[in-house]
Amino acid sequence: TAALKAVATRRVEDAYELGERLGEGAFATVVRGTDRVSREAVAIKVIRKEAFDDREMEFVVRETAIMKAISHPNIVAVRDVYESRSHLYLVLELLDGGELFDIVASAGHLSEQRASEVMRGVISGLSYLHGQGICHRDIKPENILATSKTWPLQVKLSDLGMAHSHLDDGDPGEGNTADGADDDTLSTMSSGRSVTRDGASTAMSAPVHSASATPQFSMPPASASAPSGVSAGTQQSAPGGVGHLIGTPGYVAPEVVRRLPGANAPPADLWSAGVVLYILLSGKMPFFGRDDAECLARTAAGDYAMPSREWRRVSPAAVSLVRGLLCVDPAKRLTAAAALQHPWLADPATLSASPL
Ligand code: ADP
Ligand code: MG
């Protein structure tokens, strides 16, 4: 019918004015959009279809469906999806504050008050996703967006391009690892670098082994040791990544680096949240190295320090939450629900009211 045809051929340009660029990824550009009727501002993620083959496009569409189906105040909402011959358009809730990355980079580090507010948002979003059977798998300050540049602000998790629905792959979500996480004397951070961009970007829903994309990992394929029981319909790899490692060096969990069972399970997101918390409080990366391999080796060993230069002003409660999240054994790591119960998050009144 004419109505069906109208739906099938509706164009994003008919519904939205496309404006300035807000951000860029490996296969996607995010631009500002304005609803032609309501004048509401949105963000539109424009994904180049040519970057994907037919099967990969199925993954993109599947992930898009997941995003459309979920709704939480700490997850960027997908309002609508459009498609043209060459592009897919995700109409997203606009987050005008930009990336948490830039907020922290310009502030150096956050007060405990603000860090606690941000982490409550991040972990609430994770708690929701995990309750829906979804792991984000790429939690980092570039993928945490803010509602405004000025405080108080709210944060939302974005870029579910690597999200994985763990309910349909039978992943037990547990790994047995040597637990060596809590020894901060193992390394010094003499060369501790400030937060820097990793230079890699991830594409929305890009379950691809694409040699042309920006590599996030330079690790050999792990076909033999990849988590078993991962169904073909859900397995993804980092866009441009090699093998089955997913995520970003510096943020990925030890069980992901070591390809242990649990790489697709919720605890891996809590590790990354621990890295984010560490950065918010100190302005430094807990896991770093001259190259990705060194960074990943330190991650696998849980080898991080809390140098007194940055950490002596940090409260014991905040330090205890960092340690509970950066715990090498995923079975002993705090869950999202447990982290939300941690006094530093659950009881903001206990935080110092000092602005710094
Ligand atoms: P990719 O999958 O390519 O990494 P992202 O979804 O992370 O793409 O988006 C790339 C960048 O675009 C983000 O880092 C952010 O700067 C910007 N961006 C993404 N979504 C929004 C949004 N809803 N509102 C404002 N800016 C956004
Ligand atoms: Mg991204």
Q: What is the pLDDT of residues 276-329, one digit of tens each?
A: 999 999 999 999 999 999 999 999 999 999 999 999 999 999 999 999 999 999
Q: Which atom of ligand 1 is least distant from the CA of 26?
A: 3
**Of 18, 30, 140, 202, best ligand 1 pocket probe by most atoms within 8 Å of the beta carbon:** 30
Q: What is the per-residue pLDDT for 205?
A: 29
CA 240/CA 203 separation, integer angstroms: 9
Q: Which atom of ligand 1 is least distant from the CA of 239?
A: 2
Question: Are 45 and 55 a contacting pair, CB within 8 Å?
Answer: no
CA 89/CA 110 separation, integer angstroms: 35
Question: Are 123 and 345 a contacting pair, CB within 8 Å?
Answer: yes
Does 322 or 234 have the greater pLDDT score? 322
Q: Name the residue at shortest CA distance from atom 18 of ligand 1.
A: 23
Question: φ, ψ for residue 165 (rounded to 5)?
Answer: -85, 105
CA 205/CA 56 separation, integer angstroms: 9
Query: How does pLDDT run across 175-188, given as a tens digit for each residue?
Result: 333 333 222 221 22
Q: Name the residue at shortest CA distance from atom 14 of ligand 1.
A: 142
Question: Are 178 and 33 a contacting pair, CB within 8 Å?
Answer: no
Q: Please give the span between the terminal C-alpha atoms of the chain, in angstroms, as a whole number.
A: 63
Mean pLDDT of 80-107: 93
Mean pLDDT of the chain: 78
What is the chain's Cα-based Rg?
20
Q: 203 CA distance to ligand 2 centroid (A)?
A: 7
What is the pLDDT confidence band of residue 58, given thresholds at 50, 70 and 90? confident
What is the pLDDT confidence band of residue 244, given thresholds at 50, 70 and 90? low
Q: What is the per-residue pLDDT for 10?
A: 82
Q: What is the per-residue pLDDT for 348?
A: 72
* Ligand 1, CB cutoff 6 Å, lining residues: 22-23, 25-26, 28, 30, 43, 45, 76, 92-95, 98-99, 142-143, 145, 158-159, 161, 201-204
Percent of the chain with pLDDT over 70: 73
- Strand order in 87-93's β-sheet? 16-24, 28-35, 41-48, 87-93, 78-83
Q: 225 CA distance to ligand 1 centroid (A)?
A: 32
- Could you tell me which of 90, 138, 102 has the C-alpha nearest to residue 239? 138
Q: What is the per-residue pLDDT for 166?
A: 54
CA 209/CA 239 separation, integer angstroms: 6
Q: What is the per-residue pLDDT for 102?
A: 93
CA atoms within 13 A on the CB side of 121: 23
Query: How does pLDDT run across 158-176, given as a tens digit for each residue?
Result: 988 777 775 445 433 333 3
What is the pLDDT confidence band of residue 29, given thresholds at 50, 70 and 90? very high
* Binding residue ranges: 49
* Binding residue ranges for ATP: 49
Instruction: Report how far apart, in Å, the C-alpha atoms of 135 and of each of 31, 88, 129, 150, 313 are.
Output: 26, 23, 6, 29, 33
**Of 74, 76, 78, 159, best ligand 1 pocket probe by most atoms within 8 Å of the beta carbon:** 159
Question: Are 119 and 280 a contacting pair, CB within 8 Å?
Answer: yes
**Of 158, 202, 208, 251, best ligand 1 pocket probe by most atoms within 8 Å of the beta carbon:** 158
Question: Are 89 and 47 a contacting pair, CB within 8 Å?
Answer: yes
Q: Which residues pair with 266 in a beta bridge?
A: none
Which ipTM value was assigned to this complex?
Answer: 0.98
List all residues 6 or more positions away from 19 whose beta carbon is below 8 Å from its beta carbon: 31, 32, 33, 34
CA 143/CA 148 separation, integer angstroms: 15
Q: 290 CA distance to ligand 1 centroid (A)?
A: 28
The structure's pTM equals 0.78
Among the listed ranges 7-11, 77-81, 255-259, which one has the minimum average pLDDT value?
7-11
